[in-house]
Structures are given as C-alpha cells and as structure tokens.
C-alpha cells in the first residue's frame, strides 16, 4: 500500500482536535502523515497545534472547506490524500482499510468510509453519498442501524468528512471548487471524476465516528440551507451537458419545489429561496465541464445512476421516520 497524507481542515475546532489526533495515533497502518489546515481559527487552535508540533498550514482567513483542503492537497506529496473532519474519531484500522481499497485499481478516484454517529453508535451517519435525478444529494444509510452496510459497493460520491482520494487525478479533473466554500463540494468533485470515467467506492471496513455539523452548529440553519441551495445550482449547471439538463429539467424543477416545501415546513424557506436566487444569478461565473464525445458512455452511466439514486432514496426514506430526512441537501 502507498503512503497517505491525512488532511484535516480546522476552523475553531479546538475541542475536537485532541480526540481526533489520539485516534490517529492508534492506527495500525503507519505509512501516513498528518497535515492540519487551519482556516484562521480564533479559539486557540493555532496555539495548540504549534505546541503539539503538528504539521500545519495556517491560513489567514476562513476559506471554507474547499479552500482548506485544496491547500492541503497541493502541499501533499503522497499518492493518496485522506480528508478527515476534525469532529471525527477513527477506528484503528481506518487508514489502512481505505488505503487498501483505493489501491485495488488505478481507476478508483475516491473511497468513502463507514461513518457512524459518534453520540449514537448504533446509528449510521453515511455509507457513501448518492445523487439522484431530482438534484438531491443524500447520505446512504443515514439514521439506520450501524450493524448493516457491511458490503463494499459503488457509490456516487465519497463523503469528504472521511474519505481517501487519488491525488494525481485532481490534476486532470480539477480540485474542490472553492466557489462552493462548503457543502456539496465533495459530490461535485466526484461527479467530475465520474465524467472522466473514474469510480467511487464505499469501504465498510474503514469505520469512523462522526459528530456532524460541528462547524455550522446545527443540522439546519440559515447559513447552511442558503449555501447548500446555491451550491446545488452550481452542481447541476457545471456537470450536466445542455442536453442532459433539458432531459432532466422536469425532475429537477420537481426536486426544487419539494425541497422548498420541506424547508418551508421548518421555517427556512427564505434562506432556501435566497440560495437558489444567488446560485442562478452567479452560475455564469462557474466553469462548466466541457463536453467531450469520448465521455458519452460515462454520461449515460451517470444518467442511469441518477435514476437508480431516486429509487434508492425512496426506499431508504420509507425506512425512516417522517421528518428525519438526512442528506447533503
């Protein structure tokens, strides 16, 4: 197995850094190094990182998740980079399992871990991310029993809270889109990788416990809802060719309408509408993935995944209590 750089973005996450680092010290696979990218923290994180002599990049301001991990990826010199949220605690075999899985084929771009809710260890947080024709990204298995989801399989995207990536591929498909700042940037980069014919897997042997929403503060808030709504427009526009956008337009409009009603029921309809408006008014500044004829087969495979993603969403939704919708927005 090849060497790994574990990149941990941090913004005012001092209370999480200690447990996160202690878990990494217990890893059975040792061919990895740690690099923390601090996003202009003001809570004492910088002082602690320096005192602990943990290799770090100190950014002057908060560049968001995308800006932080891009800085780390570009600094890394290992074949693989493993992105890890600061509010996580990894099982001892975590790094080794991800490194072994991504090493199975050069056509694997990313591998997502088995993420379990830290405070409810009997419940899943994510078994890889999925994306559907309604324009919705969601966490596979969220809220379901953590005893399940023990089979390796293809997923649409790796959840960047705990996932490994083949570093050289970023030079081909581009890095995390810093216009996103945060939310859906991991789905976007894996969507681009799929256009280029790469695969994304879920590895159940890589177990990670995750707090979730540690930086934004809650599952739903105006900042998060607005940003995710805006980024959902970017995601669709950038990655779908015009013919695919046209073919999916009715489904995408339906998805936006249902999502609006969902947030209206929770008092966030204004933030959601503002996010959509900002996305539509600024989408022209996004760099659209150029359509290439040789990628036609990949686009058709993606379209099939969007359709099956909807079927899986309906199936998983039926297994959860009403109102407990998890996902990436």
CA distances to 132, 259, 269 from 283, rounded to whole Å, are 21, 20, 21
Q: How confident is residue 128, by pLDDT bands cut at 50, 70 and 90?
A: very high
Residue 212 has pLDDT above 80, yes or no: no
pLDDT, residue 243, reads: 96
> How confident is the model over 261-313, as pLDDT tens digits?
999 999 999 999 999 999 999 999 999 999 999 999 999 999 999 999 999 99
In the numeric block, the tokens 């968001």 are attached to 64
By residue count, the chain amounts to: 329
Q: Higher confidence at residue 8 or residue 326?
A: 8
CA distance 298 to 152: 22
Phi, psi of 197 (to 5 degrees): 90, 15
**pTM check: above 0.75:** yes
Cα angle for residues 224, 229, 231 (degrees, 5° grid): 95
Phi, psi of 66 (to 5 degrees): -60, -45
Element holding 248 (H helix, E strand): helix 242-264
pLDDT, residue 318, reads: 82
> How confident is the model over 34-70, as pLDDT tens digits?
999 999 999 999 999 999 999 999 999 999 999 999 9
Cα angle for residues 166, 168, 173 (degrees, 5° grid): 95
**Closest among 89, 181, 189, 85 to 137, alpha carbons compared:** 189
pLDDT, residue 322, reads: 47
Taking every pair of Cα atoms in the chain, the longest distance, rounded to a whole number of angstroms, is 56
């Amino acid at each position: 197995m090849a060497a790994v750089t574990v990149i941990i973005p941090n913004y005012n996450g001092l209370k999480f850094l200690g447990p996160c680092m202690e878990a990494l010290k217990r890893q059975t696979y040792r061919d990895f190094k740690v690099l923390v990218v601090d996003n202009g923290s003001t809570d004492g994180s910088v002082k602690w990182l320096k005192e602990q002599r943990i290799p770090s990049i100190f950014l002057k301001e908060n560049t968001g998740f995308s800006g932080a991990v891009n800085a780390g990826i570009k600094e890394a010199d290992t074949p693989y980079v493993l992105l890890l949220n600061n509010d996580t605690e990894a099982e001892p075999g975590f790094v080794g399992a991800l490194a072994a899985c991504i090493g199975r084929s050069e056509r694997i771009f990313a591998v997502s871990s088995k993420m379990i809710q830290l405070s409810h260890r009997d419940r899943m947080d994510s078994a890889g991310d999925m994306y559907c024709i309604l324009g919705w990204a969601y966490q596979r298995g969220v809220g379901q029993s953590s005893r399940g989801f023990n089979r390796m399989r293809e997923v649409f995207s790796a959840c960047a809270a705990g996932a490994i990536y083949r570093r050289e591929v970023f030079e081909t498909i581009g890095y995390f889109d810093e216009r996103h700042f945060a939310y859906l940037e991991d789905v976007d980069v894996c969507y681009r990788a799929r256009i280029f014919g790469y695969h994304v897997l879920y590895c159940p042997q890589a177990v990670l416990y995750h707090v979730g929403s540690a930086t934004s503060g809650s599952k739903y808030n105006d900042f998060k809802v607005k940003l995710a709504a805006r980024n959902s427009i970017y995601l669709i526009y950038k990655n779908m060719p015009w013919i695919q956008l046209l073919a999916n337009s009715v489904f995408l409009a339906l998805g936006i309408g249902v999502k609006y009603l969902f947030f209206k029921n929770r008092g966030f309809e204004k933030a959601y509408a503002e996010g959509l408006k900002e996305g539509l008014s600024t989408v022209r500044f996004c760099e659209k993935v150029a359509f290439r004829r040789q990628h036609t087969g990949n686009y058709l495979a993606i379209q099939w995944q969007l359709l099956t993603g909807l079927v899986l969403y309906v199936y998983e939704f039926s297994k959860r209590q009403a109102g407990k919708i998890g996902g990436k927005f």
